[in-house]
Amino acid sequence: MDFQSPLTQFIVNIIVAVVVGVTAIIVAIWIYKRQKLKKEISYEIVSNAPLVSINEKMKDRIKILLDGSEMNSPRLIVIKLINTGNDAVKKDDIEDPLSIQIQGATIISAEVLNTDPQNFFLKPEDKKDFVQWQGSEITLQKKLFNPKDEISISTLIDGEDQSIYVGGRIANAQIKALKQQYNRAMISYLIPFLLMLGISISVYEFTINTNSRAQVNTLSPLDTILTYIAAITVVSAVALYLYDTRRKNK
């Protein structure tokens, strides 16, 4: 490739212009999306372990009793709920209360393990009444969830095979597993990084070509390589943005 030919320089300048234009559009859309209010409750299964460990050879000779009632497979489960959105979830937003269903098991007890902030409950009785359970379902009373508020629920169950489902109906809000949010958070930081890298290289190339090389009308191999890198970073950012948007709408 002749890096000093007018055609090559024209193509490179076109690429730089396209990169800058596309970057500006994507940055504007990204800023708008980030500033848009979003209600979102995420959950995480912190632990799910047997209450006691019994050797298989001794299993038929040992009985586990709780208040006089025999338990076959007692397990202790801790579930954390977090407001991962940027808007508060108010009581009036909750149509159907948040619930935790543990299929294939019987719930023996459930309680609030801890909260963040610590003053999530202003009164001790509010903390006690917040969790109710029956059969295989835990129901949480309607409560204000500010952004980043966390609450952990500890529950004792009896059952070997469990399928845990967290549900509810909240106006303009989503309830999702926390693992998906961590992946999205990583992508949300990677997109602006790629955009800033692409636009920085493009601005640098534009400045160099306009000032120092305007008189000699030449283009070095390094300039061409940097231009292609800028284009690749912006295309990658656009691809990640489209992927993130598609995953979010599922």
Q: What are 47's two structure tokens?
A: 């632990």
What's the pLDDT score for residue 245?
65
First CA to last CA distance, the chain: 45
Quick check: helix, strand or coil at residue 58?
helix
What's the pLDDT score for residue 70?
76
What's the pLDDT score for residue 98?
92
* Percent of the chain residues topping a pLDDT of 90: 23
What's the pLDDT score for residue 140?
93
As beta bridge partners, residue 114 has 152
pLDDT tier for residue 246 given thresholds of 50, 70 and 90: low
In this predicted structure, the answer to whether residue 224 has a pLDDT above a threshold of 90 is no
Q: How many CA atoms lie within 13 A of 245 on its CB side?
A: 12
What's the pLDDT score for residue 85?
85
**Using an 8 Å Cβ cutoff, are 242 and 29 in contact?**
no
* Percent of the chain residues topping a pLDDT of 70: 54
- How do residues 142-173 score in pLDDT, each as one tens digit? 999 999 999 999 999 988 767 889 999 998 88
In this predicted structure, the answer to whether residue 178 has a pLDDT above a threshold of 60 is yes
What's the pLDDT score for residue 160?
73
pLDDT average, residue stretch 108-137: 89
In this predicted structure, the answer to whether residue 211 has a pLDDT above a threshold of 90 is no
What's the pLDDT score for residue 43?
92
What's the pLDDT score for residue 101?
92
